[in-house]
Amino acid sequence: MNTLTLYHQDFSGRLLLGTAAYPTADILRQSVAAAEPAMITVSLRRAGAGGEAHGQGFWELLQNLNIPILPNTAGCQSVQEAVTTAQMAREVFGTDWIKLELIGDDDTLQPDVFQLVEAAKILIDEGFKVLPYCTEDLIACRRLLDAGCRALMPWAAPIGTGLGVVHEYALRVLRERLPDTPLIIDAGLGVPSQAAQVMEWGFDAVLLNTAVSRSGDPVNMARAFALAAQAGRLAYEACPVQPREQAQASTPTVGQPFWHSAEY
């Protein structure tokens, strides 16, 4: 299976895993171990909050996981807020990687693609490796690439819904029209089969949080999603047969010892 490459850096896995809303710190630790993700995402605001699995103890847990950290700007609703949060995250986590979230609607948590482009350009100019959480809109994605982004994270459905792919046509067009851009499906996946599906279409990775952390068994669900992402990628690289309307026998008729005619 080919390696996932983002901003000229290679990663062994094709699943990125969030760290929010796990029942306990130990279950989070076990889930990460089961998934073996390429990166783990964390919100600066969450890491700095109080609570048993937060604050300094939470930060130490993340360090001990020994997995590359992808800070995010979750909850930001303006360019200045997102840029400032990213700058703070770089200081706290010691990384230039940032998952850029800039929300435009409180109900759907849909990204504000207009402000997203502006914020992305500022952060790219400051040396960040920006992974923008965006919609499946082709034109908006092109604007993000023009701003300097080298990978995109389109949603499958609104965050935390578990609906799976809502707009299949738009996502498949996006994959077709941006063949050389790493595309990571972020948000909305609910079960492993949905992850396998988008990977079979040629998407490069998937990012999950709610589907794992709020499941009945996060550890096994993390393992299931990791296997699904791997299976989907292997299937894509194996070039699946194309669907057809008419049946086609898998066993050849030429050379068969007997041939039964339909005419009697």
Q: Tens digits of per-residue pLDDT, 1-50?
A: 678 999 999 998 999 999 999 999 999 999 999 999 999 999 876 554 44
- Of 171, 93, 78, 173, the residue nearest 129 (C-alpha): 93
Residues 85-94 have a mean pLDDT of: 93
Domains plus CATH for the chain? 4-237 (3.20.20.70)
pLDDT band at 64 (very low <50, low <70, confident <90, very high): confident
Give the pLDDT confidence score for residue 53 in this predicted structure. 45
Does the annotation place 210 within a ligand binding site? Answer: yes
Residues 200-222 have a mean pLDDT of: 97
Sorted by sequence, the CB contacts under 8 Å of residue 128 that are 6+ apart come out as: 86, 90, 96, 97, 98
Residues 91-111 have a mean pLDDT of: 92
Does the annotation place 187 within a ligand binding site? Answer: yes
Residues 114-133 have a mean pLDDT of: 97
Does the annotation place 48 within a ligand binding site? Answer: no
Residue 254 pLDDT greater than 80, yes or no: no
Residue 259 pLDDT greater than 60, yes or no: no
Does the annotation place 72 within a ligand binding site? Answer: no
| Rounded Cα–Cα distance for residues 99 and 72 (Å) | 4
pLDDT over 70 percentage in the chain: 90
Residue 263 pLDDT greater than 60, yes or no: no
Known catalytic residues are 99
The one-letter amino acid at 218? P
The single residue listed with the structure tokens 């076990």 is 30
The overall pTM is greater than 0.75:
yes
Residue 110 pLDDT greater than 70, yes or no: yes
pLDDT band at 52 (very low <50, low <70, confident <90, very high): very low
Mean pLDDT of the chain: 90
Residue 63 backbone phi and psi in degrees, to 5: -65, -40
